[in-house]
Chain A
Amino acid sequence: MIKLNNVTKKYLTQVALDDVSISLPQGKIIGIVGENGSGKSTTLKLMAGLIQPSKGAITINGENVTRRISTQVAYLSELDAYYPFYTVQETIDFFASQFEDFDRDRAKEILEFMRLEPNKKVKELSKGNRGRLKILLVLSREVPIILMDEPLSGLDPMVRDSIIKGLLSFVDIEKQTVIITTHEIREIEPLLDVVIALKKGKIMEITEVEEIRSIQKLSLVEWMKKVYEN
């Protein structure tokens, strides 16, 4: 269980997250939506322990989040954070050496599933294959929480589809919680259990996606329009 208790995050004078309290259930796929600057990426970075809150506390299963929490969390960054001169295999080896929970067998399975060539250098990979490699790196870790910042952003439809299929194939939903920030609502929505709508650093709504469809009879996009108009 991830909990944010009255969390505020300021960058200099700018408030990125404004007194947010939530507790997120385990074993769910959770989407965070909102415009640029609404606090989506900040929320994920706080959960990953990459940045510290200005006020308030974040806990995972009762433990305070610090940089050391990385044994509980796999974080997929929005940026290409690894070394361009490494081959795909060397990148996997590097990650395996960094994280005790890295499962090499699973990495190999995902490598085959994603049809990545192990001997290609990262800098020679297409953008799509770099996206696939990033997914491989987070899904190969046996951690309770997987954080993905814009995993589909800027990728073509075939790549997005393979990433979604990869996610469904390799996430262990009984043990893992996945939190995804995204602009690609239509593609992600069949995957989500819960959606959180952020606006200007505040939570507008948090709800079960199937409830939106069954009770409000709205699609996620229609619901978002309604939420953000108010």
Chain B
Amino acid sequence: MTEEFNPSTPIYLQLVERINRQIIRNELKAGDKLPSVRDMAIQAGVNPNTIQRTYSELERMAIVETKRGQGTFVTEDMKKLANLREELKQEHIESFLRDMKEMGFTLEEMMEGIQMVLEVGKGGENNDQA
């Protein structure tokens, strides 16, 4: 079956995020080749023009490089990849903080809450891996 997308968010952005996560999880490593536009389109069940846009956006972010006639590759610039990791971390923390603040939680409550969840989770170490 084709992959599921959030229908009200641009698909190319969802794919950018998906590939970024693969890079951070090291499923895609520096210098790895991304699938061709057509293969990616078939895999994701998405219009090839959308894949093209995804790759262009990743290129604009300097996370991938397109080598003429060879395809698209994850950058070997480790600094860029470290930045990406840092950016995604910030982004998710900020979004978490925004959500919690919106519901009226104080910073102390949040810290306390995190501490508690960590204590409880100590028994089964790696339970954060889905």
Contacts and interface: CB of A to CB of B under 8 A. Distances in A.
Interface of A: 27-29, 157, 161, 164-165, 168-169, 173, 186, 189-193, 210, 213-214, 217-222
Contacts of B13: 214
A219 B46 contact: no
Contact of A193 (B41, B42, B49): B49
Contacts of B10: 210, 213-214
A210 B8 contact: no
B44 to A, nearest CB: 8
A217 B13 CA distance: 13
A219 B7 contact: yes
A157 B1 CA distance: 9
Contact of B47 (A29, A157, A165, A214): A29
Contacts of A29: 47, 49
A210 B53 contact: yes
A131 B9 CA distance: 31
B5 interface: yes
Contacts of A27: 49
B11 interface: yes
18 contacts: A28-B49, A29-B49, A165-B45, A168-B41, A168-B46, A168-B48, A173-B47, A173-B48, A173-B49, A189-B7, A190-B50, A191-B46, A191-B47, A210-B50, A217-B9, A218-B8, A219-B7, A219-B8
Nearest to A214: B10
A217 B6 CA distance: 11
Contacts, number: 62
B7 A220 contact: yes
Nearest to A29: B47
B38 A168 contact: yes
B127 interface: no
B11 A213 contact: yes
A2 to B, nearest CB: 17
A102 to B, nearest CB: 22
B128 to A, nearest CB: 30
Contact of B7 (A165, A168, A221): A221
A162 B10 CA distance: 24
B53 to A, nearest CB: 7
A220 B8 CA distance: 7
B62 to A, nearest CB: 22
Interface in B7-47: 7-13, 38, 41-42, 44-47
B2 interface: yes
A168 B8 contact: no
Given A161-B1, A165-B42, A190-B44, 12 more contacts: A27-B49, A29-B47, A165-B45, A189-B7, A190-B2, A190-B5, A190-B47, A190-B50, A193-B50, A217-B8, A217-B9, A219-B8
